Structure formats: structure tokens, C-alpha cells
Amino acid sequence: MARTTTTRRGVLSGLANGLMTLPAAAVYTGLTVVPVGYAVYYSFTQYNGIPSQAPTWVGWENYARIIADPIGDLRPAAWVTLVIAVVGAFLVNGAALGLALLLRRTTALNTFARAVMFYPHVLSALIVGFLWQAILGPQGAVNNLLENAGRSTWPFLSDPDWALVTLIGVIVWAQFGVQLVLYLAGLQAVSPELQEAARLDGAGGPQVFRHVTWPALAPTVTVTIVTSILSLLKVYDVVLGLTNGGPGDATQTWAYEILAVSFANNKVGLACAQAVLLVVVAGVLSFTIIALRRRAEEGAEAVG
């Protein structure tokens, strides 16, 4: 008797638990998990996305096409994306950490400066792209200044290498503010006593940073690196505003390739294969970084 009540209570509470997670699970499954499933399925088909026409199963053909890359359009996009993700993440984090150290103390000027560093992030990437295109384009503000001063112009957006560097620069400008806030928060968590103790032991500024501050920041570093790489891997809006992928294909990112090339040309099968690969790459990169950082973080716990 007593036993059945507990079982019933167990079932009921299980049911209640299920109900509590249901809304989140339903929305997330319906619009993220199922689409990923669709993407995997379509990635093995040749399909133009038109409902009245059926997908044809082609096995690994789309993936083979991506890897063989017969017309040399996907490998450059993969390369561009990787450069943006790695170099961009490095610069974003470098700038954010440097400024966090500089703006650590809460003074009126520093509070103002923090807001100024953060504001590009509220503008939206597309608008940032258009704005910088107007500043750095062939007839943009900077080149007009140079021209009016009788100097030769700079090909910020018209030379393939420059364009990629410019793109990364603009992304860093727009994004490091968020990581700056995370670093500032991380710095608050660094024990002042430890730092003071280290200083009393005769350690100089750089040494305190290396042995106390940096290890204590380890968890923050992991989070900021992973979040910045994840957001850099899907860069699209800013490209659209700044270069629209050009010149040639110099700034076509993987996401641009998926949305503006494959999908826009009715190649849904290929677009989905590209999407699946990007999801895999994002996952592998993130987990690798988290695994690599684990040791550093263990160090942090020892210090903290």
C-alpha cells in the first residue's frame, strides 16, 4: 500500500518534471534539433528546395564535392573563415584583456571608456559593415582625405588581402567590447589579497600578472575564446555590409557561401552539407579548446 503510493508519487513527479521541461524542449527541438536533422538528411540529397520537386538521394556526393572542391570556391571560403575565427579571436581577446587591465579601476573616465568600447556591439553587425564601407571604401572618408591631401589611396576594400585584413579589423572593433566586460568581471574575482601578498613578496607588475592574475582569469579566458570563436565562425552580416564577399571571393566566408551562394542558387542539398560541416567544426573546435584549457583552469582553482 505504502509502496504503491510512493510509486504513484514517483510517476507523478516524473510527469511533473517532464511538463516543466516541455516548453523549452518543444521549442528547442522543433526549431533547432529538427532543422539540424533536416540538414543532415538534405545534405545527402540533391535538392533545389522547391516543395513541388522531390529531393533525390545522392549519398556522400555533396560532401565529396566540398572536399574535392573542383572549382576552388569552397576551400578559399573555409580558409577565410578559419583565418577570421583564429586571428579574430586572438585579437578580440588580446584587445579585450589589455583594455580590461587598463580600465580595471572604477573611475569616471574608465566607466565612460568601457561604455565607449562596448557601443559598437549594440549597432548590429550589418550596420557596422555599411558604416565602415562608407569610411574605408574606394571613395570613402579615409580615401577622400588621402586624395584631397594629394596622396595615393589605400585599397582597404579593393585588394583581396587588404579586404580580409580590413574585415577582421572591423569585426574586432565591433566585438571586443563584449569580451572586455567579461574580462572586467573576471578581474573582479581575482583575489586582491593574493595580489597584494605577491606584491609584498617583491613581485613586479608583470610578475603579479603572470603568476596571480592570469591563472585566476583562466576560466574567463576559456569562455571568451570559445564564445568569440563560435561567433566568428558564422560571420555573415558584417561581410554583407562591408564587402559583399568581394573583391572576387576574397571575403566570402563559409556562412556567406551557404546563404548567399548555395542557397541563393537553389542548391539546398549542398548548402545543408556545408551547414552540417560547420556545425561539426564549431563543435570540435570548441571542445578541443575546452579540453586544452582544462589544465589551465585547474591551476586557477589552486590559485583562487
Partner 1 sequence: MTRTSPIRTAVRVAVVAVLSAAMLVPMYIMVVNAFKPQQEILLSPLGFDLATLTTDHIAAAWQNTSFPVVEGYAVTLFLVLACNVVAIGASVPAAYTIARTPTPLFRFLLFFFVAGMFVPAQIILVPAIFVLKALGLMGTLPGLVLFMSSTMIPFTLFIFSGYIRMLPRSLDEAAAIDGAGRQRILWTIVFPLMRPIVATAFILNALSAWNDFVSPQLILGPGSQFRTITTGVYAAVSTYTTNYEIVFPTLLLAVVPILLIFVLMQRHIMGGLSAGAVKG
Partner 2 sequence: MSTTFLRRARGAVVLGMAPVLALAACGSEGGSGDAADDGSVRMLVNITDNLTQAKWEELVKPFEDETGIDVKIEGPSGQSVAESFPALLAAGTAPDVIESIVPGPDTAPEVLDLTEYEWASGTPMADLYSTDGTINVVGVGMQAQSLMYYNADLFKEAGITEPPTTWDELDDALAALDEQGVATPIAFASDWATGVQVQEIWHPQQNVTTPGWQQSVADGSSTLGDQFQPVFEHVADWIDAGYTTADDVATDSGTQEANFIAGDVGVYPMGSWFSTTLAASPPEFEVGVFAPPVDDAADAPGPMGATLAFPYMVWKGTANPDGATALVEYLTTDEAAIAAQADMDSFSREGLEPSSNEYAGMVQELSDAAPSYVVPGNQTVGDYALPVAGFNPKFTELVQGLWQGRAPADVAGDLTAWYEAEKLG
- Restricting to residues 145-164, name those near partner 2 by CB under 8 A: 153, 155, 157-160
How many residues of this chain bind partner 1 (CB under 8 A)?
Answer: 87
Contact 90, 169 (CB under 8 A): no
Residue (232 or 268) nearer to partner 2, CB: 268
**Cα(231)–Cα(228) distance, rounded to whole angstroms?**
5
- Residue 87 to residues 95, 172, 230, Cα–Cα distance (Å): 12, 10, 13
With a CB cutoff of 8 Å and minimum separation 6, the contacts of 207 are 198
Judged by phi (left if over 0) then psi (alpha if -120 to 50, else beta), residue 247 lies in beta
**Cα(191)–Cα(71) distance, rounded to whole angstroms?**
56
Residue (34 or 292) nearer to partner 1, CB: 34
> Does residue 63 bind partner 1 (CB under 8 A)?
no
List the beta strands (DSSP E) in the chain: 45-46, 56-57
Cβ 239 to partner 2 shortest distance, Å: 13
> Does residue 70 bind partner 2 (CB under 8 A)?
yes
Burial (CB < 10 A; 0-12, 13-18, 19+), residue 215, is: buried
Instruction: State which of positions 16-45 bind partner 1 (CB under 8 A).
Output: 16-17, 20-21, 23-25, 27-28, 30-39, 42
Instruction: State which of positions 155-214 bind partner 1 (CB under 8 A).
Output: 173, 178, 181-182, 184-186, 188-189
Residue choice 130, 219, 263, 297 for contact with partner 2 (CB under 8 A): 263
81 binds, among partner 2, partner 1, none (CB under 5 to 8 A by kind): none
**Cα(109)–Cα(123) distance, rounded to whole angstroms?**
22
Residue (32 or 248) nearer to partner 1, CB: 32
For residue 262, give the nearest of 83, 75, 98, 74 by alpha carbon.
74
Query: At CA 12, angle to CA 7 and CA 16, rounded to 5?
Result: 145
Residue (2 or 109) nearer to partner 1, CB: 109
Question: Which of the ranges 61-69, 86-94, 278-286, 288-296 carries the binding residues for partner 2, by CB under 8 A?
Answer: 61-69
Q: Rounded to an integer, what is the distance from CA 45 to the centroid of its chain? A: 29
155 binds, among partner 1, partner 2, none (CB under 5 to 8 A by kind): partner 2
> Does residue 54 bind partner 1 (CB under 8 A)?
no
Q: Rounded to an integer, what is the distance from CA 124 to the centroid of its chain? A: 14
Residue (1 or 149) nearer to partner 1, CB: 149
Residue (248 or 288) nearer to partner 1, CB: 288
> Does residue 102 bind partner 1 (CB under 8 A)?
yes
Which residues make up the interface to partner 2 (CB under 8 A)? 23, 46, 48-53, 61-62, 65, 70-73, 137-139, 153, 155, 157-160, 243-250, 252, 260-261, 263-268, 270
